């Protein structure tokens, strides 16, 4: 067997081994990146929920004070103290502006953006 025929036999086998190694390593890599992104999204969500909880706790603590209850009763319910007069000013109904809202179009992605999203596991992550 000559060196050229050995090369012609070995080259396709070598390329097949490289291709198989690449394919078997892409899928776990995608899942690892997707899981990392999922953890990042969950961490961001946790931080925003903790901030919201702190805000709601401050609001609940403020509701325990009499001055905050009085403020809310006056602003939200229109309550007045004895001897006070309440006035309500309303805008004429024919002056309400019309708002045109266009539906949001889905984001269009090119083939290479889709391929990159597949390779990096972006398609596995929600949000």
pLDDT at 47: 97
2-10 mean pLDDT: 78
pLDDT at 77: 86
CA distance 56 to 71: 17
pLDDT at 96: 57
CA distance 18 to 92: 75
Q: Which two tokens stand for residue 77?
A: 């319910």
Tokens 């006056």 locate to: 74
Domain ranges for the chain = 1-81
For residue 46, which of 38, 58, 57, 34 has the smallest C-alpha distance?
38
* Stronger pLDDT, 127 or 55, i.e. the higher one: 55
Give Cβ neighbours of residue 26 (< 8 Å, ≥ 6 apart). 119
pLDDT digit string, tens, across residues 92-126: 776 656 666 677 777 788 888 888 888 777 777 76
CA 10 → CA 4, 13, 23, 56, 96, distances in Å?
A: 10, 5, 20, 69, 78
Q: Which two tokens stand for residue 61?
A: 């603590």
Give Cβ neighbours of residue 109 (< 8 Å, ≥ 6 apart). 117
pLDDT digit string, tens, across residues 32-74: 888 888 999 999 999 999 999 999 999 888 888 888 888 888 8
């Amino acid at each position: 067997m000559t060196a050229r025929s050995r090369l012609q036999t070995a080259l396709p086998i070598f390329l097949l081994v490289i291709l198989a190694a690449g394919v078997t390593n892409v899928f776990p890599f995608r899942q690892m990146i997707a899981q990392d992104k999922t953890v990042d999204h969950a961490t961001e969500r946790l931080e925003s929920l903790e901030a919201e909880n702190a805000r709601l706790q401050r609001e609940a603590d403020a509701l325990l004070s009499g001055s905050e209850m009085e403020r809310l009763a006056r602003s939200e319910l229109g309550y007045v103290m004895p001897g006070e007069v309440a006035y309500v000013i309303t805008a004429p109904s024919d002056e309400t502006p019309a708002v045109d809202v266009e539906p949001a179009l889905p984001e269009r992605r090119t083939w290479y953006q889709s391929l990159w999203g597949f390779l990096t596991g972006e398609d596995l992550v929600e949000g």
